[in-house]
Homo-oligomer: A and B are copies of this chain.
Amino acid sequence: MKFDFRTAVNSDLPAPQKLWSAFPKYNFVGGHNDADSLPIDEITAACNSVLLREGKTLATYSLESGPQGYLPLREFLVSKLDKYASMQCDADNILLTSGSLQAIDLINAALLKPGDTVIIEESNYGGVLSRLSQLDVNMIAVPVDENGMRTDALEQTLQQLKSQGIKPGYIYTIPTVHNPTGTIMSLARREHLIELAVKYDVAIFEDECYADLVWSGTRPPALYSMDSTARVIHIGSFSKTIAPALRVGYLVADWSLMGYLLSLKTDAGSGALEQMLLAEYCTEKFDYHVTKLNKNLQVKLNALTNAIDREFGTTAEYHSPPGGIFLWVKLPDTINTSKLSEVCAAEGVAINPGNEWSLQSDSTQYLRLCFANPSAETIDEGITKLAAICHREFGIPLHGHNQPRDA
């Protein structure tokens, strides 16, 4: 008789996944990137060059660089973070991780236990919401507006928690190209946030995974660079700037935390070839590549907003973001995007429903649309189809594709 793993597994596991078949035709979910922007010839040349020069070191765990990851990539990051985010750190403050998700897991493992409290932005990265929920951590949400996290509300929250004798594990923020709203936190808010964190003696967890993708206005300095008390843990990634399948992220922190994170990182190192390739490529080409990528992303965002304006008209509200790869769209309150996403999925249109990306009470009116991966043409077709499904299911938008365009 066959062994029954369904009864053998722990009873509190998440539901099992189904066998993967293929990407949906109209894929507006996930942080997939623009394949046409990926400079394969240059990536291949960089790979060649670093493998022929140093490939033998792959025979040792972590190359010759130790558990914090390939030293030349950490050195590139030292200069890149200085140039782009005004951060002063050295290679010993950087830990290379298997995507920024591993950085998040390590930080959570070091700082949180079930029942702890953290402060987060109300609309938020779904992968963080699901992780904190899985860890049985209390999430206290602070609203976000067009200038980023509302630090006046943060102050109230910190005050209230203090009066209850609760010290939060950290304040988690995505200050630059916030996920999902796309906003950039103003300099004044950044200063206020740090002032409050110092006053209430709380650590700040700064996630800047999208921060290199800014094409409108200037990128403010990172919180890490503005704080003189070593309380900011900064994370970033090469997923959004180079390629997500490479799985290379990083974490910048004071050594008083780093030593603990290294003890928790029991994976015998993150993938070294990908680190070698990135160091070789980025040291020469990062600026050039990101400038070009941002131009291409802007074209796709325009394709997306044009299609939404045309298909949804006034029924869709959004702020066109200054960068990034996603658009956060609000629909009328008669629409439930959770239901919408299910129906759409069955018809080849994948969208992120708002309730997986926000703790707002009206989250089911929102949806997140990622625009980096599909072509401009596919984006246009997909939004047309989305509008048609939305009309069919909810009667909105009224002038969608379901009616003659000249009606």
Contacts and interface: CB of A to CB of B under 8 A. Distances in A.
A23 B207 CA distance: 33
Interface in A230-269: 230-231, 239, 243-248, 253-260, 262-264, 266-269
A48 B44 contact: yes
Interface string A1-29: 11111101110011111111111000000
Interface stretch (A61-69, A79-87, A311-319, A389-397): A61-69
A263 B37 CA distance: 31
A60 interface: yes
Nearest to A197: B3
A37 to B, nearest CB: 8
A46 B44 CA distance: 11
Interface stretch (A96-104, A158-166, A297-305, A328-336): A96-104
Contacts of A266: 101, 127, 130-131
Given A10-B110, A58-B245, A59-B33, A271 B274 contact: yes
B34 A270 contact: no
Nearest to A21: B66
Given A19-B255, A44-B51, A98-B98, A14 B58 contact: no
A30 interface: yes
A290 to B, nearest CB: 15
A359 interface: no
Copies of this chain per assembly = 2
24 contacts: A3-B231, A4-B256, A5-B253, A9-B257, A14-B264, A16-B259, A16-B260, A17-B263, A18-B259, A19-B259, A20-B66, A22-B64, A33-B59, A44-B47, A59-B243, A63-B245, A99-B267, A99-B268, A127-B266, A127-B268, A244-B268, A246-B272, A247-B267, A274-B274
A112 interface: yes
Contacts of A127: 266, 268
Contacts of A4: 256
Nearest to A3: B231
Interface string A276-300: 0100000000000000000000000
Nearest to A50: B44
Contact of A17 (B16, B32, B63, B67): B67
A40 B52 contact: yes
Contacts of A88: none
Contacts of A259: 16-19
A345 interface: no
A57 B263 contact: no
Contacts of A268: 99, 101, 127, 244, 247
A35 interface: yes
B38 A245 contact: no
